Structure 1
Amino acid sequence: MRRFRSADPDFEARFQAFVGEQRGSPDDVGAAVRYVLQAVQNEGLPAVLRFTRQFDKIELNEETIRVTAEEIAAGAAECHPEVREAIKLAASRIKAFHERQKPADQRFVDEAGVELGWRWTPLEAVGVYVPGGRAAYPSTVLMNCVPAKVAGVDRIAMVTPPGKLEPAVLAAAQEAGVTEIWRVGGAQAVAALAFGAGPIAPVDKIVGPGNAFVTAAKRQIYGIVGIDALAGPSEIVVVADGKNDPTWIAADLLSQAEHDPAAQSILITDDEAFADKVEQAIAAELETLATAKDAAESWKNHGAIIIAPLADSPRLVNILAPEHVEFALDDPEALSDQVRHAGAIFLGRHTPEAIGDYIAGSNHVLPTSRAARFQSGLSIYDFLKRTSIVKCDPASFARLGPATVALATAEGLPAHARSAAVRLK
């Protein structure tokens, strides 16, 4: 963990160097992923089964690669009742939030008499990658699948690494209305969704987080299918004054640090004595935290405390462009309204980032690695397409046709010009 003081003469240089550091940059996996993608594209299901055997040490076939309806129901039934109720509550809130995002079709006639507009249509098929390994992620299922359902996507194909499927994941899939689940992970899962593999039909877009191999595969297949984003290590910035309970703030910082040793947690405060207390509280929390190994490594290597006037915090947040930012203050909007670059903003002392991860209703699939400068979090718009509509009658075409001919001629495209000119005679 590093500490920065805005009053120091070298603050800006040190801060900019810190912002530019790469986190979790894996060794080049591009060549290995390219090999997997090409094999699945050329061979289909046999390649998927071979890579599953090689990487996951699990033998599957054309029948057992799919999770049956009976398995989904049985697994969901094993989910603890309290967790099941939490999944239902989360799903209902996520659905309600995303239903409010539904855009309207539009048709209008402009001053030239041309009828213009647009209409929205859902994607036909979406693949959702749900990670396995470190933990079970029912929230990933809900955050990706519920908005897709709200958008009207016809087919949702969920893939997740083979092995025991956690009851909470199956309960979330059931709650989200997902009936197509495949036991396949890694780059081979992305390839199967992009190209098709035996019983796995190709999709139009792939969403959901994954490891370095999954991210590299999504990068390489973009253009063949759509993708949501390239996920990086998680991150949080907490802007807090000395009125906060340091244990609360410590817990908020560790809530992201525990995700991954490459995750990043940053505290911005104007109270150095409070910063000391937060640092002590983090050390105390790590004594009992089950995920302390990853969290401690993250805090040690990528964490930071910035001592600066709170009035300067929006500027610093905008430079960091973090995935999550909390304003744990009495009047959070006074500063948060100045933030332009952040995946999600959490306002007030009783709004920890974790509430957004699970139950608030907003989406937790957010831009990382400063991508909040140019990208939004996952929404219903990721599962919709907008199509433009143009309609001319003879009178309106007569008004616009000559300019069309002029521009097409200027661009050296005579067939374009003629397609308009022939209608003007």
Structure 2
Amino acid sequence: MPDIRTLRVAPPFRELREMAAAASTDDPALRDAVAGILRDVASRGDAALLEYTARFDHFDAGGAAGLRIGADALAQAAASVDAQLLDSLRRAAENIRRFHERQREHGFMDIEPDGTVLGQRVAPLRRVGIYVPGGRAAYPSSVLMNAIPASVAGVDEIAMVTPTPGGEVLPVVLAAAHVAGVTEVLRIGGAQAVGALAYGTESIDRVDKIVGPGNKWVAEAKRQVFGAVDIDMVAGPSEILVIADEHADPVHVAADLIGQAEHDPDAIAWLVTTSAELAARVPGEIDRLLERNPRRDVARAALQANGAIVIVDSLADAAAVADLRAPEHLELLVQEPLLLAGSIRNAGAIFLGSSSPEPMGDYFAGPNHVLPTGGTARFASPLGVYDFVKRTSLIGLSAARLRRDAADVIRLAESEGLFGHAEAVRVRL
């Protein structure tokens, strides 16, 4: 049976504060190694990229052209995968697109009676890069969730990078790229791929923003290139917090905790419950379900290291614990989930009731599964269309408006010692 810590808590939850704090990701050796790779790609371009791809992915591309997968190959991949799987990809894509179309921003323009124009223009980024983990794992859902919001936003070019040991990309990943509207696929990964997207090479145009999950090398590289380009976030381990009352099914709770714990040994899975009986039954159900899970060793390690069963006196206390933890995924397995959701401020995504298990959001429901981790749901949001646009202010004052407001502007500018600012207004009077 997994050794999951169980504790009973009450406000102000001092026992949980250290547990809820995100672990430091600062690794000087990793930071220096990534910085070296980024400098090399920035200075030597394609040559460095080809060398790192051969070294880390054991793939000799034979030149920069060998790193690129053409649109015809994407269409062929879509035609080659199982027909039912392709239908599932398309239905998921339709749900994701429909949801994200609701996020479109249209800007505004106010024209005042004197002719003054004040407004905000919303325009898509020109070119973005999406990182899709590769190797033995296949993540077509990551392709859909990262590329479709960019497509809905109107981004002109969506360049996908994915590591390809031996040069092979799984057909289902290429099929997802075809369905999602990816315009370019590159067989590169790791920090070197982030560098290529951020700085450009002889054969790869730089992008305006990089999104998508990756390992610690990718996360550190994204951290370092921020400023040269925008990024979505520096993602940490996957997380789930389940709030359950006495009516929750312990099998459902156990299955949902395992669903996150199987990601990797650093995954975080908490149960917060008002029921001591449920708290006592869940570990046994976890043990039973793990017996038939091929990733049982990974899940068990995560639950032992980062799992917790927290018993509280009330659902109000459970909501307070959720706000403290600010989880990536929050499940509400309670009788009135929508009512409880209204009292919770901090969560990446909230799943309402037993018919809404977290994997439905991961793959199919429509909202994005790229969510803030490590407690950043206190201030960050899911990936969305708004991440792929930029806003520009429009200011066109009439002559009458200039005369009306000039004295105030001159007075404010001179109070800051910026006499040139004041003079730029004064000469127009």
Question: The TM-score by the shorter chain falls in which range?
Answer: over 0.9
**CA 1:4–1:134 in structure 2 vs 1: closer, same or farther (change >3 Å)?**
farther
Q: Which residues in structure 2 correspond to 1:8-27 (within 5 Å)?
A: 12-20=13-21, 22=23
Q: Contact 1:75–1:165 at 8 Å: present in 2 too? A: no
Give the residue type in structure 2 aligned to 1:173.
A
Please state how far the C-alpha of 1:78 moved relative to its aligned partner: 2.5
Q: CA deviation at 1:288?
A: 1.0
CA distance in 1, matches of 2:27, 2:266: 10
Contact 2:240 2:268 in 1 (8 A): yes
Call closer, same or farther: CA 1:21–1:178 in 2, change over 3 Å: closer
Supply the AA of the counterpart residue of 1:70: D
Cα drift, residue 77 of structure 1? 2.2
Aligned residue runs from structure 1 range 309-320, under 5 A: 309-320=314-325
Aligned partner of 1:180 in structure 2 is 184
* Aligned counterpart in structure 2 of residue 328 of structure 1, from 324, 329, 333: 333
Distance between the aligned counterparts of 1:25 and 1:420, measured in 2?
48
**Whole-Å Cα distance in 2 between the matches of residues 290 and 406 of structure 1?**
71
Task: Please report how far the alpha carbon of residue 403 of structure 1 lies from its aligned counterpart in structure 2 after TM superposition.
Answer: 0.8
- The answer to whether the 8 Å contact 2:143/2:176 transfers is yes
Residue equivalent to 1:277: 281
Corresponding residue number in structure 2 for 1:121: 123
Q: Do structure 1's residue 296 and structure 2's residue 300 form an aligned pair?
A: yes
Partner deviation per Cα, 1:121-163 (whole Å, 9 max, x = no partner): 0000000000113520001000010010000000000000023
Q: Could you tell me which of 142, 145, 167 is aligned with 2:144?
A: 142
Shift in Å, 1:246: 1.3
Secondary structure at the residue paired with 1:423? coil
CA 1:134–1:19 in 2, change beyond 3 Å: closer, same or farther?
farther
Please report the TM-score for the alignment, with normalisation by the length of structure 2. 0.95
User: Unaligned 5+ residue runs, structure 2?
Assistant: none
Q: What residue ranges of structure 1 are gaps of 5+ in the alignment?
A: none
Check whether the contact 1:26–1:212 (CA below 8 A) recurs between aligned residues.
Answer: no
Shift of 1:27: 6.9
- Structure 1 position 258 matched with structure 2 position 262: yes
**Pairing 1:233–2:234 present:** no
Letter in 1 for 2:197: L
CA contact (8 A) 2:158 2:182 kept: yes
396-405 or 41-50: bigger deviation: 396-405
Partner of residue 215 from structure 2, selected from 211, 217, 232: 211
- Residue 28 of structure 1: CA displacement? 3.7
The amino acid of 1:72's aligned partner reads L
Displacement of 1:313 = 1.1
Q: Contact (CA 8 Å) 1:123, 1:153: kept in 2 or not?
A: yes
Residue 115 of structure 1: how far off its partner (Å) = 2.3
Q: Percent identity?
A: 46
Distance 1:339 1:115 in 2: 40
Kindly report which structure 2 residues correspond to 1:3-82, keeping only aligned pairs within 5 A, or say none.
Answer: 3-6=6-9, 12-20=13-21, 22=23, 28-60=29-61, 61-82=63-84
Is 1:350 aligned to residue 355 of structure 2? yes
Displacement after TM superposition at 1:165 (Å): 1.1
Q: Normalising by structure 1, what TM-score? A: 0.96
AA aligned to 1:81 is: A
Which residue number corresponds to residue 86 of structure 1?
88
Aligned mate of 1:248, from 252, 270, 274: 252
**Count of aligned positions:** 422
In 1, the alpha carbon distance for the partners of 2:153 and 2:72 equals 27
Residues of 2 paired with 1:273 and 1:26: CA distance?
42
Alignment match, 1:159 = 161
Q: Secondary structure at the match of 1:64?
A: helix
- In structure 2, do the counterparts of structure 1 residues 302 and 64 end up closer, same or farther at CA, with 3 Å as the change threshold? same
Residue 349 of structure 1: how far off its partner (Å): 1.4
Tell me which residue corresponds to 1:414. Answer: 419
